[in-house]
Structure 1
Amino acid sequence: MPQPRITTIGFDADDTLWQNESFFRLTQDRFTALLADFADPDHLHDRLLAAERRNLGHYGFGVKGFTLSMIETAIEVTEGRVPATVIADLMAAGREMLEHPIELLPHARQAVEAMARSHRVLLITKGDLLDQERKLAQSGLGDLFHGVEIVSDKTAAAYARIFARHGDGAQRALMVGNSLKSDVIPVIEAGGFGVHVPHGLTWALERADPPTDHPRFSLLEHLGELPDLVSRLD
């Protein structure tokens, strides 16, 4: 009997299994409203994005780094005159994001359950450790995964290590996620299969061009299509 081509499947978490970016957008709107007397929305957006990009190496991905970047931007655009009440409101907004209930995306549970019956399934996510652990616990999906990896960044080398540790190497692994930059392209570079499931909202720093001509790249409309794709690839 022939062996399956794919033995291990990795799932991204934020905006693949549950909502995430929409909460950042709502908080950014709140940030814009709080600083409306100091700068227009487009300027604030550009300054905040620049701060986030600049701070990734210091704070990493996630709510805490985003909150610190909002505070830093508020100080910059007001030339140090930002009211303490605004800083307090921004900190409160960050805490609310860290406490927001998990909202699973359509087909998320069914896709993980289906894949777990026939393959090793991993959760591979990046960001703040405590926040990601909280979201996984609240999602109700934790018991379905054979392994969980929370990494500081998603690179080809990171995927190679993860799939070697939990499976049969990247060549026999598939990663599914909403981010071309983090979930698809580096997995393909490591020798695996990259499956893109677009989300309606994508953080500007996660955008990239799809590797449409690569034989190990696939595009799905939603997670419900994943089992059929894996069957075809196997």
Structure 2
Amino acid sequence: MKRIGTGISLALMATLSGVLTAPVTANAEWVQNPIGVPRAPGCDPGYSWQKLGVRYQCATPQPNCAYGFAIGPVWTGTAWSYSCNIPPPPACPSGTNQTAAPSWNGAAWVGQTCQPANPQIKDPQSQCAARALQDGIAIGPVTRQYKYNSSAGAATSYYHDGSQGPYWEAGAESGTTWTIMCTYVNATGDPVPESYWQYLRTPDIPYVDPGGG
């Protein structure tokens, strides 16, 4: 009996020894989330928990539109349904005018045509009036014009006879009537270069025909 009992005891010890030395595997999630702490289920790749209204759902992040949404966005359960406002049409560069309006082709504005704008020609009479006013002279209407070529291009001299200003004396003659001459480039209305007669004022002395005619 002792021998039989000893054999059984040795066999039992060997069995228990094998159980105690076997490796024990553990899921890392079990270690991080002990029993009693609930975990939210995961979302498929590309999806994450998004608050849609009052509930959370697995969804892709809500899209953005550079110029705001025209429609939506609405989550359909699998994707966002929306459309974006199109960008505003482009403007022509400064110094040009639009001759053909652009159209939207679904992805970009196309078809716009811009042409250089015609230069704004400055008004000769208003410029001459401002210059003469510095001398206290109010110019009259244009009485004659002379055209010639300057280094800046074709130009015109405008004469304003009968302009009224300060009293003057010239020998036996005197008065308050002046002749004002201003010269401007035809293409721009700018004054001619200083080497030409930009501005001239002279007493308006009545012409006397020496022959008495």
Work out whether the TM-score is over 0.5: no
- Give TM-score, length-normalised by structure 2: 0.18
Q: Which has the higher helix share?
A: 1
Q: Which has the higher strand share?
A: 2
Q: Highest relative contact order (Cα 8 Å, sep 6+), 1 or 2?
A: 1
- Give TM-score, length-normalised by structure 1: 0.17
Query: Which of the two has higher C-alpha Rg?
Result: 2
